[in-house]
């Protein structure tokens, strides 16, 4: 209920009894001591007595563990984790968040096969996904993922489709955490204000799963699907937009790698060609960089800084990223300077929010010029051409755009 602008939960003291195949206990009324001992960690088992105004430590060590920075379970850790394996992930989250250390027995229990099997069998993917998301969104995502890897829980949490191409090695988890570490440190160097909370969250996921960016599996219809999609939807049960965004970020990296040397060049001369895997329709040489960059940012929209940041970790593209990453730690100061130079160039090109750009000419206008009765591929093709013209001529008017279209269409008709 709501009291004086505060939501208050009323919960009776409880005792728990667990069945073998479920982490949902049977609840009975219990004593305060029984309630304290059923908690996941000693630091979470403290009561505040509103009558005496004092903290009551019924496990006898909650305050001590809080002061000394230890992650300990009230009951033997293996029994605690087997009753509710989600407590393993909660222990990791609290340990990372506060910088606390795990008790030795807890570490052994968390990494044992019985607990790993119970985590896979008894805990819903949604609950696992919620805990992982809290870690990634928290203040110590690298420490949390390092704990998960060290406790050999990485492949229990981030399960892959059984038939992935190419095969992923067990050791890949180390590279995943290394990319996350580099991305996290680079974000701190750049300044967190460059990213919203959601942009930072998905940038970190994209970094963690960077080694999987070219890994696919085939669905029931034989269609090739990025394995990142499987991790989000099946292993973590996250919302559908998360894998879509991370996959877009991954797909933007090769294009960013092509653009970075052009965006950061001190040479005022424009490149004769910008190889972006697309035809830049009748675009002046002096505008090709702006057009190519604009099209790329339209693909990833507000997550373009995430794509740029990760691409700086992979730059130059011929680097042996596995060895370079782990051994040289990526010279993050240099990566920061590279990111800032490319970011400034994009902002100076007036492309920071290019997705807000309204087309000068709409589909109806295109159909009128082309004397078409209905839309289709031809209209979509011309929409791309007109967008390229608009990016190449940021000060262009509707009339100028239509004149260019009529002239281009006329030339094309004569050639055909």
Average pLDDT, the chain: 90
Beta bridge partners of 217: 164, 225
pTM (whole model) above 0.85: yes
Of 62, 118, 50, residue with least CA distance to 94: 62
> How does pLDDT run across 204-222, given as a tens digit for each residue?
999 999 999 999 999 989 9
Number of Cβ within a 10 Å radius of residue 121: 11
Residue 22 has pLDDT above 70, yes or no: no
Instruction: Say what percent of the chain tops pLDDT 70.
Output: 91
Whole-angstrom distance, CA of residue 126 vs CA of residue 319: 37
pLDDT per position as a tens digit, 47-91: 999 999 999 999 999 999 999 999 999 999 999 999 899 999 999
Closest CA to 33 of 65, 58, 64, 57: 58
Summarised one tens digit per residue, pLDDT across range 380-396 is 989 999 999 999 999 99
| Structure confidence at residue 18 (pLDDT) | 65
Supply 299's token pair.
Answer: 């693909």
What is the per-residue pLDDT across 338-379, written as a single tens digit (0 to 9) for each? 999 999 999 999 999 999 999 999 988 899 888 888 878 889
Q: Nearest to residue 402, comparing CAs of 357, 358, 365, 359?
A: 365
């Amino acid at each position: 209920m709501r009291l004086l602008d505060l939501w208050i939960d009323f919960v009776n003291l409880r005792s728990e009894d667990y069945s073998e195949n479920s982490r949902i206990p049977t609840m009975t009324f219990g004593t305060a001591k029984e309630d304290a001992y059923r908690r996941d960690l000693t630091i979470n088992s403290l009561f505040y007595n509103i009558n005496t105004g004092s903290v009551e430590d019924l496990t006898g060590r909650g305050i001590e563990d809080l002061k000394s920075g230890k992650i300990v379970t009230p009951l033997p850790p293996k029994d605690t984790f087997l009753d509710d394996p989600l407590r393993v992930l909660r222990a990791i989250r609290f340990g990372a968040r506060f910088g606390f250390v795990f008790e030795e027995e807890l570490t052994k229990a968390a990494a044992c096969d019985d607990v790993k099997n119970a985590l896979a069998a008894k805990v819903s993917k949604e609950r696992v996904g919620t805990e992982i998301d809290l870690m990634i969104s928290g203040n110590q995502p690298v420490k949390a993922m390092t704990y998960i890897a060290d406790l050999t829980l990485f492949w229990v949490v981030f399960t892959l489709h059984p038939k992935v191409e190419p095969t992923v090695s067990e050791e890949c988890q180390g590279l995943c955490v290394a990319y996350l570490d580099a991305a996290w440190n680079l974000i701190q160097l750049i300044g967190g204000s460059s990213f919203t909370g959601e942009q930072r969250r998905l940038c970190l996921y994209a970094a963690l799963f960077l080694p999987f960016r070219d890994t696919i599996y085939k669905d029931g219809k034989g269609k090739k699907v990025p394995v990142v999609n499987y991790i989000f939807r099946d292993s973590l049960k996250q919302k559908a937009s998360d894998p879509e965004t991370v996959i877009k970020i991954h797909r933007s990296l090769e294009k960013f790698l092509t653009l970075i040397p052009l965006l950061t060049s001190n040479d005022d001369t424009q490149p004769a060609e910008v190889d972006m895997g697309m035809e830049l329709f009748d675009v002046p040489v002096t505008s090709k960089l702006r057009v190519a960059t604009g099209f790329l940012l339209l693909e990833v929209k507000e997550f373009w800084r995430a794509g740029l940041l990760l691409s700086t970790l992979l730059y130059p593209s011929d680097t042996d990223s596995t060895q370079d990453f782990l051994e040289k730690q990526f010279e993050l100061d240099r990566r920061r300077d590279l990111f800032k130079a490319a970011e400034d160039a994009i902002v100076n090109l007036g492309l920071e929010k290019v997705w807000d750009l309204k087309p000068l000419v709409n589909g109806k206008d295109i159909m009128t010029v082309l004397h078409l009765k209905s839309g289709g591929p031809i209209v979509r093709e011309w929409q791309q051409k007109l967008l390229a013209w608009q990016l190449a001529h940021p000060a262009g008017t509707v009339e100028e755009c239509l004149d260019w279209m009529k002239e281009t269409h006329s030339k094309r008709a004569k050639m055909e």
